[in-house]
Amino acid sequence: MAEVITMPRLSDTMTEGKVAKWHKKVGDKVKEGDILAEIETDKAVQDFESEIEGTLLFVGVEEGSAAAVDSVLAIIGKEGEDISALKGGDASANDSGSEEKKSEEETKTENESTSVEQTSSEVPSGVEVITMPRLSDTMTEGKVAKWHKNVGDTVKEGDLLAEIETDKAVQDFESEYNGVLLKQGVEEGGAAPVDSVLAMIGPAGTDVSGVGAPKQASKSEDKQAEQKSEAKVEEKSVAQTTNTSSSERVAISPLAKKMAQDKGVDINSLQGSGENGRIVKKDIENYQPSQKTESAPAQNNAAAQVALSFVQGEDTETPNSQVRNIIAKRLSESKFSAPHYYLMVEINMDKAIEARKEINSLPDTKISFNDMIIKATAVALRKHPQVNSSWAGDKVIHRGNINVGVAVAIPDGLVVPVLKNTDQMNYTQISAAVKDMAGRAKSKGLKANEMEGSTFSISNLGMFGIETFTSIINQPNAAILSVGAIVEKPIVKNGQIVVGNLMKLSLACDHRVVDGATGAQFLQTLKTYLENPLTLLL
């Protein structure tokens, strides 16, 4: 029977997707795992793979067109099969034909709940049933890329059990129990739905051959468990940037991974010294970022547009990309929902210029003024945590980490990659991270998690000669810093008129979170750091 493939929700903020390219045509044979199409979301372009086999019978969205999440993307079935009843504008088009089926499934689920509970009671004492975890908000099934423990192996809490491949990345899955691995519910390379049996751990010699699925919870319990699982993932795992092939994944120990996250180290640039090239603790401790050729300064700004040709007397149109539509929506929401106000200050950059010259005279070191501003901003946020906060309706959330988003221009508008724990990074780490993410942003190579979690944002147009401007706050941040050009101007110094290097900063604040005095104090601290760079070392 033919199956309807709907437009997937590939990010938590996605409401519609655009088909950037079809890899299969109507009439083509499709196998499980084949790439059907490239879907452009509000954040990136992602490959969309088929989960079923058959013939592509219908394409619901033309290449270059967009459609709402859950609308009909394609239909796959047997060649020559009648699919006229399945075609429609969205998944609800199939409701009339599937309501009875849904009803039967719901009834079946209710009827089976008793038998499932009875199966659960068969689990021997001391045996823990581990289910396939939900490692992302869009994950429906997981694939075991690799087992690190075999049946009969002793397992301790915190040991790496397996590597689980989700719809976004490959992640390490650690055991929460002590015992012996009694059963592997999914073979290496095999896939299973979320919440199905992944493994069983218990006392050595326990017979679990007749044990079925674990007890199912009620709908409300399922929702709580899902939320708990997602929270645990955020705390215990760091998603690795990968291609669809698990063989290209970075091998790293859990401790080294945590250290890399805390220090802002790009693990993709490391060569591991552990077994089979695995990155271990000492590799992070000895990490020295390599400096690539400095990118064009325009990578750190938010202004470039798609080049257009001008024809006298002829109006032309450019369809909006998914990215530009989302940018427009979010900026409008921010501007009209958050009460913006603006503070401006002028910085004497003479000492910063000298400090940068000395730093760049060191071997393999090349930093920009933007890197210095990012570092000074992150340290200033430590002293003014109210600026590093978010409005949440009936409360203000004070963020525990300082994650600075840096506006980067792309042909479709701008994106804001995020430097996690920026205050703990040094100049060279900031420089390497910004260049890497800015380069990948232009080719839509950034992952969704690299553009999430910012607590403050910076936009720099100084390289275009713009002396001062104001920005719209990047929600849910409470403020954004706009950086202008360094300009030579006459200033009064020790009673004499001399030439000085001045730079203007503009701080846009959400008045619901940051009061005028708080914003002014933050700018004064930032001014002190930039005018006296040595204070950043204290």
From 23, 148, 340, 511, active-site residue: 511
Q: Which two tokens stand for residue 302?
A: 């938010």
Residue 511 is a catalytic residue: yes
| DSSP 8-state code for residue 252 | B
Cα–Cα distance for residue pair 55/160, rounded to 1 Å:
40
Do 299 and 409 contact (CB within 8 A), yes or no? yes
Residue 515 is a catalytic residue: yes
Q: What one-letter code names the amino acid at 461?
A: L
99: left (phi > 0), else alpha (psi -120 to 50), else beta?
alpha
* φ, ψ for residue 383, nearest 5 deg: -80, -15
Cα–Cα distance for residue pair 468/487, rounded to 1 Å:
11
First to last CA, the chain: 69
Do 449 and 10 contact (CB within 8 A), yes or no? no
Element spanning 419, H or E = strand 418-419
CA 38 to chain CA mean position, Å = 18
Cα–Cα distance for residue pair 409/430, rounded to 1 Å:
18
Q: What one-letter code names the amino acid at 86?
A: L
CA dihedral angle for residue 188, residue 191, residue 193, residue 197, rounded to 10 degrees: -20
Cα–Cα distance for residue pair 513/479, rounded to 1 Å:
9
From 47, 95, 153, 515, active-site residue: 515
Catalytic residue ranges: 511, 515
